[in-house]
Amino acid sequence: MTERYPSPRALLDRYDLRAKKSWGQNFLGDEAILDDIARLAAPRPGETVLELGAGLGHLTARLVARGARVVAVERDRDMARVLRGELGERITLLEADAARLDLPELARRFGSGGKLSVVGNLPYHLTSPILFSLLDQAPHVLRAVFLLQREVAERLAAPPGSRDWGVLSVLLQREADVSVERIVRPGAFWPPPKVDSAVLCALFRPPADAVADPARFRRLVKAGFAQRRKTLRNALEAGKIADPEALRAALATTGVDPGRRGETLTLAEWAALDRALGPVAAES
């Protein structure tokens, strides 16, 4: 950057503000890490980047410096005031809830080819709602670069059969190539959180494995992981995904042992199970 952006503490003092613990506000001030995230989110000048929870604008300023067109989403009015004061007309500011965005509409207005890059430092309590919203609108996402709690990032990038492999691992990895790019220590933030964070990069592409019904596929995976001590057959029957006879037939067709646990199945096996269950009957 040609102009040094003020530190989080300096900006909070300038606007007579404090970080709101109830909002999960921990502001990243480490310039090298901010530059890395900006590079991942906007590898080329001219790209449109949707920043979720822009906060005090530290990452926002880096994105602008890289030549990105930044649409900054921030629902905290105090933070919006800082963003307007520090970055003004260099960004498009949306005072909105990051978990309830209409990505198709935003991609139409601001995106290139109907897609957007998404970036953000996600508070722990909003990570799942934002990720599920993103998955619902995956065709409009080009890439997502998120700063997350380390254990959450490692879970999302976990391989099948590992202790961390779970519902969001399966759903996200079906839509994107996922990697943990770097670990971020608490001292990089103000105020420092109590846990390590990590930079997660998800490069979206056509789904890796076809399914018969995406909504049922999600229910299927959720049921399989809902009670990890149950066998797959018992977990799926408890989740009422289909009648027991159809479930037994699908397991037999795919060759998946019903005595396995859900966390041992690969993405391809989950998708095969959904296909074997056939199309969902339309409601009359």
Q: Residues forming the annotated binding site?
A: 26, 28, 53, 74, 97, 121
Binding-site residue numbers for S-adenosyl-L-methionine are: 26, 28, 53, 74, 97, 121
Question: What burial class does residue 252 get, using C-beta atoms within 10 Å of its C-beta: 0-12 exposed, 13-18 middle, 19+ buried?
Answer: exposed
The closest of 264, 129, 138, 273 to 213, measured between CA atoms, is 273
Neighbours of 20 (CB within 10 A): 11
Question: Which residue type occupies 155?
Answer: R
3-state SS assignment for residue 187:
helix
Question: How far is CA 180 from each of CA 12, 78, 167, 259, 265, rounded to the nearest angstrom?
Answer: 30, 31, 18, 32, 22
| 48-52 and 69-73 beta bridge pairing | parallel
* CA 83/CA 81 separation, integer angstroms: 5
Rounded CA Rg of the chain: 21
Nearest CA among 87, 98, 97, 99 for reference residue 62: 87
Q: Which of 67, 60, 19 is nearest to 46 (CA)?
A: 67
